[in-house]
Amino acid sequence: MEEIFQQYLSSSKDELEEAARKLKNMTPAPMNTMLQKQPREEAIGKRIKRAKMVAEDVPPTTPGN
């Protein structure tokens, strides 16, 4: 830990910015697709479609219940 701290103290601002840029380029994109925004019109359309769905009463599949 001490070695990392001493390296940080001896580095210039430009070197630190370059290292941060390299790390950012090495980092993969998030795999979570929820972070990608959906267009507003599409989201509203889906919501309206879901609201119009009718819940069906499905009888049990096992006899005697």
Instruction: Note the pTM of the prediction, 2 decimals.
Output: 0.36
Is the pLDDT reported for residue 52 higher than 80? yes
> pLDDT (tens digit, 9 = 90+) per residue, 2-30?
888 888 777 888 888 888 899 888 888 77
Structure tokens at 45: 């359309």
Closest CA to 17 of 5, 6, 28, 8: 8
Identify the band that residue 50 occupies on the pLDDT scale cut at 50, 70 and 90. Answer: very high
The C-alpha angle 8, 12, 13, rounded to 5 degrees, equals 95
Mind giving me the DSSP string for 12-52? -HHHHHHHHHHHHHHSPPPS-GGGSPPPHHHHHHHHHHHHH
Is the pLDDT reported for residue 39 higher than 80? yes
Mean pLDDT of the chain: 84
